[in-house]
Amino acid sequence: MFTSLSISRYRGFRSLAVERLGRVNLVAGPNNAGKTSLLEAVFLLAHGGSAQAALNGHVVRAVTPAANALVMWGSLFADLDTSDPIAVHGTHRRLGSLRLAIEHRHSATVQTVPSNRDSRPTVHGSPELHFSLAQELPDGTPGRAVRSQISVGASGGEVKGEGDPLVVQCVFLTSCAEHPELDAQRLGELRRRKEAELVVEALQAIEPGLRGLDAISGPGGHSLYGDIGLSEQVPLITLGDGLNRLARLVLAMAHARGLVVLVDEIENGFHHSVLDGVWKVIYATAERFDTQLIATTHSYEAISAAYRASVGHELVLHRLEPGEDGVSCVTYDADSIEGAVEHGLEVR
């Protein structure tokens, strides 16, 4: 579990410090404040020096690997200035201090002299993204160091690394992506561990008539089916976006102990009337599986419900606030959230 985070020169962040992270974290703020960018930075840090993470759709935002490298990677750097490296630093409860640096470089270049003397020579070189991670263990002694790089050409990306990355297990759930095969696989893992009934109990918070959950093979592969007392099980997706979304979230959080789960726009798919029940499920699942949740939200109702359900649990709210000097972070603990909610202060 990460306990603090700082981000420098990543996307819209010139210098951002999140001084306290808890077990359950909500990230709020206006549009274009960098909420999703914060999740991306955690995702890159969790991959512990692996440049392969730069090809992940959660980071490059659907730009194909064969795209122009400036389009693909330039936007990762603040002000599109690739001359200054990105730095992401996190303190992890078990692994200690992790410092990730990301640099944009070019391989050896070749100049081609044009026949027209008035024209400038052209410079050819392969753009590269270099990752380096340094670890300091909780007792203050140096830990591992990992380096890797990736270059992109017309045929895609080529990754070269020095040493295995130091990986924090991390799952990123976007607001629109659906991966029924992955959901089915995670349910199978829980069945093997004899913990699948925990998912059913969790889903009953918004669908009390649900009796069971299974992964069934169909024409498009495996997907989740629910037993609601009919003659046959029915596809879970037909029981509503909220139930399907909660199933995906619980399965991800229960995937592995010590996991960090990143969720973009966590309120999507849930009617405000079920949010209290959803948050009770989230807290119970996070604590049972030692999961850390970092989720973005635009919803005042989601924040209020998270606070109401947080009695006896750890909730931290982070509001990103753009200003003339860049984006800053205001962190609210439970007492601060209570005051803000009671007085109707803007915390979204």
- Contact at 8 Å (CB) between 158 and 25? no
Q: At what angle do helices 196-203 and 241-253 cross, to 10 degrees?
A: 140
Using CA atoms, how far apart are residues 51 and 61, in angstroms rounded to an integer? Answer: 16
Q: What is the pLDDT of residues 27-53, one digit of tens each?
A: 999 988 999 999 999 999 999 999 888
- Give all strands of the β-sheet with 156-162 in edge-to-edge order: 13-18, 2-10, 86-92, 96-106, 127-136, 142-153, 156-162
Of 12, 54, 42, the residue nearest 29 (C-alpha):
12
Residue 67 has pLDDT above 60, yes or no: no
The conformational region for residue 319 under phi > 0 = left, psi -120 to 50 = alpha, else beta, is beta
What's the burial of 312, exposed, middle or buried (CB within 10 Å: 0-12/13-18/19+)?
A: exposed
- Rounded CA separation 209/228 (Å): 6
The 326-332 sheet, strands edge to edge: 170-173, 260-263, 292-296, 24-28, 315-323, 326-332
- 3-state SS, residue 309: coil
DSSP letters spanning 216-241: EEETTEEEEEEESSSSS-EEGGGG-H
Least confident of 66-70, 75-79, 248-252, 306-310: 66-70
User: What CA–CA distances, in Å, run from 207 to 239, 243, 255?
Assistant: 9, 7, 22
Buried b (16+ CB within 10 A) or exposed e, 128-167: bbbbbbbbeeeeeeebbebbbbbbbeeeebebebeeebbe
Predicted confidence (pLDDT) at residue 68 exceeds the cutoff of 60 = no
Tell me the pLDDT tens digit for each residue of 273-294: 999 999 999 999 999 999 999 9
- Reported as type and span, the H/E element at residue 261 is strand 260-263
Q: Determine the 3-state secondary structure of 275 from DSSP.
A: helix
Q: Provide CATH code, domain 172-342.
A: 3.40.50.300
pLDDT tier, 221 (very low <50, low <70, confident <90, very high otherwise): confident
CA distance 39 to 59: 9
Q: What is the 3-state secondary structure of 116-164? A: CCCCCCEEECCEEEEEEEEEECCCCCEEEEEEEEEEEECCEEEEEEECC
Comparing C-alpha atoms, which of 42, 37, 44 is closest to residue 21? 42
Edge-to-edge strand order for the sheet containing 221-227?
212-218, 221-227, 234-235
Tell me what percent of the residues of the chain surpass a pLDDT of 70. 84
The confidence score (pLDDT) of residue 163 equals 76
